[in-house]
Amino acid sequence: MQEDLFKRLVSHCKEYGFIYPSSEVYDGLNGVYDYGPYGVELKNNIKEYWWRAMVQMHENITGIDSAIFMHPLIWKASGHVDAFNDPLIDNKDSKKRFRADVLIENEIDKMMGKADKEVEKAAKRFGDSFDEAMFRSTNPRVLEYTQKAEAVEKRLANAMKANDMADLKAIIEELGIADPDSGSRNWTEVRQFNLMFSTQMSNIAGEEGKLYLRPETAQGIFVNFLNVQKTTRQKIPFGIAQIGKAFRNEIVARQFIFRMREFEQMEMQFFVRPGTEMEWYNTWKERRMAWHRAVTPEEKLKFKDHDNLAHYANAAVDIQFDFPFGFKELEGIHSRTDFDLSSHSELSGKKMQFFDPELNEHYTPFVVETSVGCDRMFLAMLSNALVEETVPDAQGEDSSRTVLRLAPALAPVKCAVLPLLKNKEELVGKAREIFDKLKFHFLCQYDEKDAVGRRYRRQDAIGTPYCITIDFETLENDTVTIRERDSMKQERIPVGDVARIVSENTDMRLLLEQIA
Ligand code: GAP
């Protein structure tokens, strides 16, 4: 694990106003975070990138914004009341709670890690003549670790599928898994734990008034299927997109904003003719990967098929990102069959079907879903972007800088306006005049405190793609120096060109054109 990068990232987020722990003055609330001034801008830009790529770029996708509170029967129909569980295990000595499947997965990772270490050692020993594939398929120790890991992985998948909590406990005992912090192996039985938060409606007493905070935004789309289809007169295939908060009572919320109890999802349900769902599933796999690749190097992304399908899916794949703690799920793409629309039809008594004029028949559409966590995308963007580097300072000496190499279209602030000196009225007045014009185009920041070099560093640390400096020459010939964040190159340009240059290079259109 790149622990160092991860620690730096968390403290960078706090120090520079991207993310704060929620309720910090009361010592925080586990698994809940607040976005600060730059965090909210970056998050809004990520959401805009997703919304425009899905809704603006597809004539047959429209958006909605459904309520968080929904009729409680929705969660019965969707299967969340009965099946949205994680296997929970308590350690009797440390009193800590764990997900039994995660404890086992971590053990599998350790076995694979041992195999990788053997491979690394051999690669060093044999140098250029090393044949990794051959070594992996013949070395007895590597084979032992990999085969054991694969066998445990298979047994875990079967136990999860069969809801076999006793076997999960047996695996933990057989592998001798201990509480990672205390080392204790004194475990309770494994039991199912429902992840939905519940609350109570004021005007209805008892179970009848029990509401759930939605654990996914998707159900708000399903129950509006008929409304949206009628009002937009869309024909199948068509999609409905939504961005919104979701809530899960995660047993262990950890790894910063990777697993939270309150988070945001960007989901799209694509309604298709039954029998065409695998074709659309593959199309959406490609389209979503292209969206990620426009802002992330290819080697940091990969597909991972699900071993263990959710109750509603007949195919599912994750797009994984190489987070500082390894490759983990960033987005899920699921073929959800007609499960949700059929269940809602049955429980509500309202037929949720589509009349297909080409086939001259009614049917319940099948659904392909794409679902990406906004907070996970935020974490991925920061992991990609945060760089410490050595660069020459104004005197040509080595100095270190922290820079966020965010895609310019996602950067919180697009341009900083810096008067060379703050005590020269003419410079400050001119800088203010330029700032007041630029703010109509994009988010700018005016900064006059400290030496210009320090101000550049502050802007680098929040990922601002351009800084412009107003100096005495500006007063003479209406030109400024413009400095580009990554190359640190400076150029003199007319004041009148600033808005155009910054707009052209930070426009979201550049990303959208890459994925088209
Ligand atoms: N509607 C399908 C669905 O909710 P999911 O795989 O459970 O599928 C989709 O969630 C995405 O939501 C995940 O890929 C992840 O990015 C994000 N997500 C899920 N649980 C999360 C959590 N506790 N904290 C942050 N993001 C989460």
- List pLDDT tens digits, range 154-209: 999 999 989 999 999 999 999 999 999 899 999 999 999 999 999 998 777 777 78
Kindly give, in sequence order, each residue whose CB lies less than 8 Å from that of residue 110, ignoring residues fewer than 6 positions away. none
Alpha helices in 386-507 (DSSP H): 425-438, 452-462, 472-477, 498-506
Token pair belonging to 157: 């998948």
Q: Which protein residue's CA is at the shortest distance from atom 19 of ligand 1?
A: 373
Decide: 372 in ligand 1 pocket, CB within 6 A. Answer: yes
Q: Which two tokens stand for residue 441?
A: 């185009």
Q: How far out from the chain centre does Cα 212 lie?
A: 24
Model confidence at 247: pLDDT above 70: yes
**% residues pLDDT > 70 (the chain):** 100
pTM for the whole thing? 0.92
pLDDT, residue 69, reads 95
Which of 50, 261, 263 most suits a substitution to test ligand 1, by most atoms within 8 Å of the C-beta? 263
Chain CA centroid to CA 42, Å = 12
What pLDDT does 392 receive? 85
Separation of CA 216 and ligand 1 centre (Å): 8
Average pLDDT of the residues in 21-36: 96
The Cα-based distances of 158 to 150, 203, 238, 499 in angstroms read 12, 44, 35, 59
Ligand 1 atom closest to the Cα of residue 318 is 14
Q: Atom 9, ligand 1: which residue's CA is nearest?
A: 371
**Sequence letter at residue 205:** A
Using the mean position of ligand 1's atoms as its centre, give its distance from the Cα of residue 260 in Å. Answer: 10
Q: At what angle do helices 374-385 and 3-15 cross, to 10 degrees?
A: 110
> Ligand 1, residues 47, 102, 329, 335: which to mutate, most atoms within 8 A of Cβ?
329
- How high is the pLDDT of residue 1? 54
